Amino acid sequence: MNATALAVLVYPLLSFLLLGLVWPLRQNGRLAGWISTLAAVASFLGSLRLLWKVLEGEGVGSATIPWLVADGKVIAELGIHVDGISASMLVVVTLVAACVQAYSLGYLADEPKADLGRYFTWHSLFIVAMGGLVLAPNLLQLFLAWELVGLCSYLLIGFYWRKPSAGRAAVKAFWVTKFADMGLLLGLIVLYATTGSFEWSTPVPAAWAVVVPALLFVGVMGKSAQVPLHIWLPDAMEGPTPVSALLHAATMVAAGVFLIVRAYPLFEAAPPLLLAMTWIGAVTALVAAVTAVVQDDIKKVLAYSTCSQLGFMIAALGSGQLMGGYFHLTTHAFFKALLFLGAGAAIHATHSNSIHQMGGLWRSTRFSAVLFIVGAAALAGIPGLAGFFSKDLILEELLHAGQYGPLAMLLLSAGLTAFYMTRVVAIAFFGPASEGAAHAHESPPSMLLPMTVLMVPAVLAGLAGPLFAGLWNQPYHFALTPVGGLATLAALSGIGLGVLRYGTRSWASPLPEGPRRFILSAPIDSFWLAAWQRGLQPVARGIGWVDRYVVDGLMNAVGWLFLLAGEKVRALQTGRAQDYVLGVLMGVLAVVAYGLVGAA
Amino acid sequence: MNLPLLSIIVFAPLVAALVLVFVPSSARSTTRIVAVASAIVSLIGSLIVAVGFQPGGGYQFREKYPIIESIGINLELGVDGWGVSLLLLTSIIMFAGSFATWTLKERDKEFYILLLALVCGVYGVFVSLDLFVFFLFYEIAVLPMYLLIGVWGSTKKVAEAGPFRFLFRILDIGGKEYAAMKLTLMLLAGSAFILAGILAMYDAAGLRSFSIEALEAASYPRGMQMWAFPALWLGFGTLAGVFPFHTWSPDGHASAPTAVSMLHAGVLMKLGAFGVMRVGMVMLPEGAQAWAVVVGIVAVINVVWGAMAAMRQTDLKYIIAYSSVSHMGVVMLGAATLTIEGWNGAIYQMFAHGLMTALFFALVGLIYERAHDREIGNMGGFAKAMPAIAVFFTIAGLSSLGMPGLAGFVAELMVFLGAWKGPMAWWALAGIFGAWVTAVYVLRASRAIFWGQGPPERYTDLSDPKGPEWVALVVLTACLILFGLVPGLILVDIDQTTTQYLQLALDAARSGGAR
Amino acid sequence: MNELLANGPGLGAWLSLAGLLFCIGTYGLLTRKNLVAVLCSLELMANAVNINLVAFSRFHGDELGQVFALFSIALTVAEVAVGLAIIILVYRQRQGIEIHELTDLRG
């Protein structure tokens, strides 16, 4: 058993158990926060050590214990599987988690103590679950952890449980992802039925080779918010901003991408699916980017941007290149977490989510504004920053795979990304001075420090390309190719457009009114809502009614028929003794007659 | 040391019930102590049996006392891997249940006497190795329910509608007496089918013995199996809530007092499913194979129908009661697959659902007692006043919808694995869909009760559990988590027995009944 | 005729007598309205059976039949005692012993 890898899980697990079971500790919110944060930091140091060891070629491999049996044989195992992918992913997860938890200490300082204690308990559970997902030795454990991170997401989105909208968002997130998970679970079942195990390395028989990964991909679409199952992610922004940073930007939503990377041997055997993935990814990237352009809520912009970037990753994986997708996952985790934390700082300062309420924040919160702008630049793909390298790699790979349609869509999305980030920065930080910004003050150090820590990888992670290339044993030399140039051009023109439109500090609408209205009306959401309201609910109502009044009614009617029959038969009971005697006599005579006939 | 452990487990409740007869009604704490003491005796006994059970050793802890030897009726006890896990389940739930009704005020002595008699019957069914005694215990378990619901139950007004509207007045639909009567009559009608099936087996085997082992080894003509199996399926199935004979369950569970709902949904419904599998499928394998498709399709209907019906309920108890219908469908689905995974899953689901639904009903009882209301539409924000109950409710709900780490997931996963390999692969799909609908109604209920602003001002008595009530909740929750994380604790025993039975059944079916 | 005088009537005759008595008793039981008369009819039937027992005993040479007959007579006495007691109670309650009036057990 790899003790280093285990330690990464044990610290947050201990913290979770401690906070979960020791009531007074949880009630004292701040102490709980410190325990959980320290556990996360310890976990981060542990995963750094693990990565170091793995890079030196030590401790790679898996260790499992039996979990389920059937027919006397072990059919499912749990355990840990350490390799470069899991080690590097663990570093990302724990680093962002540690930063986010430390940040939460400042961001949520005013919340009720009991709520705060619960918040950090769930955070500890999340690290355990996400670690279990990353270290999963087989698809079953990945699924278990997958569901558990979904649970954490549900609980954390519902942090403001008194707010009806938060409750709705939490439940919606759970329902939608669980809906998609039906596909994942069915995929697992078919995988087991066809290969007899939950391993991702066992090839599936040809007849099912497309079905199994396709079913798995349905789950991925839910968790990683691909169109049309992305509808929960924007709503999930009802949760506290640090939660959005950790779960709904950096780590949990990337679990789908991670699953594909892990189970790639299965996906590889299904070329039609890969093609579909490329297109779905590209469509998601474009649709989400367009939607992000018209949002006024800073978190919604970032949420749609997350969808869009996840689309980039899925498209890359679909084109058959793991490295680009995974590279982008990592860099995106850093700069998107930074962006969310920055947005949180702005929200904390102005008590509003609307970018228009933040106008002129630059003057009052200069430090966090700089951090946010760095994150935005990294997302937009400014050369030299993290996002530039990974996005460039994805586009290169798509070109390499000859996917010109998706490539064009992704290039357009890249331009739009730069445009909407510029819009946010221009309005929120340099826009007309607003009421909220007037009273704003800089965030406390407990929030600024984690953001500063995150800024380092957001800037530098792009240089880790060779390291990631090592994971797949493929050469990687960065060189500015025509596609890279095109991407840079798209980014720069997006920024330029943004500056032109919003640099003059006007309140211009990003799009003409008609399309803007249409996008804001959330057509895909409406579709699902209609399916829910006009499909499932009436059916359920009908079944409930039929069960109560027809099925049960039939049972009652049977009972009533017996009552009726009794009414008729009771006439025989006259109550007159002589009638009964007559009956006895008849009976005797009948018996005698039977005896006589029988004898004859 | 050769203690007759099984007898002690089975008859401890009966002894306690007899003792209670002589305890004055005013000695309320003595009543509870006697009941809890017997529950503890049975619990310890079950734990010893579970720990001492050797996987793969066939029936163990055997005892045999003659009753009517001339026609082969003996009090013969013994456990297999299935029995062990269900015995454990029963004792855990009885232990928790005797704490959950601590605050009962009205005729509590009689209540506990009936409850103890009922649980004696339940234990007896799981350990009987004699079909006649099996049936006897089965009836002992079913009958006290009539009084328990009729006397201590609650009444619920039901809107008059539908094609059978005229019956509402006549039958007093919605009343607790109605619920008690419906439950008893439907279950007894089922019992008639069971008796017919059992006697047919006794007769066809021609051994002048009711011993389950002897009857298992006998072979039965195909024609007889073809009608005796469905008779047993419908008979036992009524108690397991098989569609469309499940309608006693929502009314019965909704009317019953807390501990009764816990035991009834938690354990008694399992008697039905256990009977279908143990008596129907293992002993009449040819009939089972021939009817498996029907059993499976009806089970699928159960799963989806129950879940959808639960979705539109607004009464908390009805939601949980319909969820039981749905989850027992999962058990029957696993049984119908006739695969090892499916059968393991079915037994495990009985265990997991027993714990989960007992926890649910305990919580519903607590909420009802504090809110004096069961309409979830009226509630909201209860988490503020009862945070612990909210946590327990969430955990029960998560197990219900199949969250990994809780017992329900293990069971459902195995049932679905079996379902795909079973006679019709699409059963798995329907089962998974049912699990999703479960997520819909459980989270909807949980949000309506605990989340949001509130609680409304007219709820003045809301509070977290007190004293003994904690025991019930903590024990059940701990078991849900324990058996969700470490299923091997009982799954190994279950699997051994399943493997053995299924092998027997399949061999017998293949060789056309001749063993 | 001499034979008849020497040996008394044969088995068939006795059985016929018993049958006749039984029929009369049955007729009375079914048709009489007065409870006392019903009881009397019942006595007739019982005694018809007793005659049967004694007759068989006599012609089969088995004393056991007579023992049974004695038992039966004793039981009949008890029965009559109980029956009359019931009749008296009924009379006290209802001021009449018409059997047609007693229909409380009607379904």
Tokens of A382: 């400014």
A66: enclosing H helix or E strand: strand A61-70
Does C26 reach chain A within 8 Å, measured CB to CB? yes
Share the mean pLDDT of chain A.
Answer: 89
Each residue's pLDDT tens digit, B202-215: 999 888 888 988 88
Domain of residue B57: give its range. Answer: 5-510
Chains in touch with B (3+ beta-carbon pairs under 8 Å) read A
Query: Which one-letter amino acid corresponds to residue C105?
Result: L
Task: Determine, for residues B416 and A167 on separate chains, whether the beta-carbon distance falls below 8 Å.
Answer: no
pLDDT band at C4 (very low <50, low <70, confident <90, very high): low
To the nearest 10 degrees (0 to 180), the angle between helices A404-430 and A271-294 is 20
- What does the pLDDT read at residue B515? 41
Q: Contact, B488 vs B407, CB < 8 A? A: no
Report the residue of A576, A586, A589 to disrupt the C interface, i.e. the one with the largest count of C CBs within 10 Å: A576
**DSSP string over A440-481:** --PPPHHHHHHHHHHHHHHHHGGGGHHHHHHHTT--------
Q: pLDDT at residue A471 above 80? A: no
- What does the pLDDT read at residue A580? 87
Average the pLDDT over A453-478 and give the result.
81
Indicate whether B187 belongs to any domain. Answer: yes
Q: Which of A569, A572, A575 sits opposite C103 (nearest CB)?
A: A575
Indicate whether B34 belongs to any domain. Answer: yes
Domains of chain C from N-terminus onward: 2-101 (1.10.287.3510)
Does A557 reach chain B within 8 Å, measured CB to CB? yes
ipTM of the complex in this document: 0.91
pLDDT band at A11 (very low <50, low <70, confident <90, very high): very high
Indicate whether B515 belongs to any domain. Answer: no
Closest of B147, B101, B151, B120 to residue B39, by C-alpha? B120
Name the residue in chain A with its Cα closest to that of C106.
A575
- What does the pLDDT read at residue B206? 85
Q: Can you give the length of chain B in residues? A: 515
pLDDT band at B513 (very low <50, low <70, confident <90, very high): very low
Q: Which of A163, A554, A559 sits opposite B185 (nearest CB)?
A: A559
- What does the pLDDT read at residue A321? 80
Q: Which of C26, C29, C106 sits opposite A575 (nearest CB)?
A: C106
Indicate whether B268 belongs to any domain. Answer: yes
Name the residue in chain B with its Cα closest to that of A165.
B452
Q: Which 136-155 residues of chain A touch chain B by CB within 8 A?
A: 143-145, 147-148, 151, 154
Q: Are B and A neighbours with ≥3 CB pairs closer than 8 A?
A: yes
Average the pLDDT over B448-476 and give the result.
86
Percent of chain A with pLDDT over 90: 50
Across the A:C interface, residue pairs with CB atoms under 8 Å apart total 32
Does B438 reach chain A within 8 Å, measured CB to CB? no
- What does the pLDDT read at residue A507? 64
Average the pLDDT over B441-466 and give the result.
87
Q: Which of B182, B409, B436 sits opposite A182 (nearest CB)?
A: B436
pLDDT band at A190 (very low <50, low <70, confident <90, very high): very high
Indicate whether B201 belongs to any domain. Answer: yes
Q: pLDDT at residue B1 above 60? A: no
Q: Which of A72, A171, A193 sits opposite B420 (nearest CB)?
A: A193
Share the mean pLDDT of chain B.
Answer: 89
Average the pLDDT over B306-326 and give the result.
92
Does A531 reach chain B within 8 Å, measured CB to CB? no
**Cα-based distances in Å from A9 to A6, A34, A46, A154, B70:** 5, 18, 9, 21, 65
Across the A:B interface, residue pairs with CB atoms under 8 Å apart total 163
pLDDT band at C1 (very low <50, low <70, confident <90, very high): low
Q: Are C and B neighbours with ≥3 CB pairs closer than 8 A?
A: no
Domain count, chain B: 1
Indicate whether B422 belongs to any domain. Answer: yes
Q: Contact, A364 vs A440, CB < 8 A? A: yes
Each residue's pLDDT tens digit, C83-93: 999 999 999 98
This prediction has a pTM of 0.90
Instruction: List chain A residues with CB under 8 Å of B447.
Output: 167-168, 170-171
For chain A, the C-alpha Rg in angstroms (whole number) is 31
Using CA atoms of A128, A130, A135, A136 in order, give the dihedral in degrees to the nearest 10. 100
Q: Contact, B31 vs B109, CB < 8 A? A: yes
- What does the pLDDT read at residue A463? 83
Each residue's pLDDT tens digit, B206-254: 888 889 888 888 888 888 999 999 999 999 999 999 988 999 998 888 8
Average the pLDDT over B357-365 and give the result.
92
Name the residue in chain A with its Cα closest to that of C22.
A585
Average the pLDDT over B412-431 and give the result.
92
Indicate whether B252 belongs to any domain. Answer: yes
- DSSP E strands, A216-295: none
Residues 6+ apart with CB under 8 A from B171: A556, A559, A560, B178
- What does the pLDDT read at residue B71? 84
Each residue's pLDDT tens digit, A206-262: 889 999 999 999 999 999 999 889 999 999 999 999 999 999 888 999 999 999 999
Task: Determine, for residues A572 and C106 on separate chains, whether the beta-carbon distance falls below 8 Å.
Answer: no
Average the pLDDT over B354-382 and give the result.
89
- Nearest Cα of chain A lies from the Cα of C107 at a distance, in angstroms, of 5
Q: Which 310-329 residues of chain B touch chain A by CB within 8 A?
A: 311-313
Task: Determine, for residues A582 and C99 on separate chains, whether the beta-carbon distance falls below 8 Å.
Answer: no
Tokens of B8: 């002690």
Task: Determine, for residues A571 and C105 on separate chains, whether the beta-carbon distance falls below 8 Å.
Answer: no
- What does the pLDDT read at residue A179? 93
Q: Which 335-364 residues of chain B touch chain A by CB within 8 A?
A: 340-341, 344
pLDDT band at A506 (very low <50, low <70, confident <90, very high): low
Taking the CA atoms of A329, A335, A341 and A343 in sequence, report the sign of the dihedral they define.
negative
Tell me, letter by letter, the H, E, C secondary structure of A414-440.
HHHHHHHHHHHHHHHHHCCCCHHHHCC
- What does the pLDDT read at residue B514? 44
pLDDT band at A505 (very low <50, low <70, confident <90, very high): low
The H helix count followed by the E strand count for chain A is 28, 2
Each residue's pLDDT tens digit, C43-80: 999 999 999 999 999 888 888 989 999 999 999 999 99
Indicate whether B205 belongs to any domain. Answer: yes
Q: pLDDT at residue A4 above 90? A: no
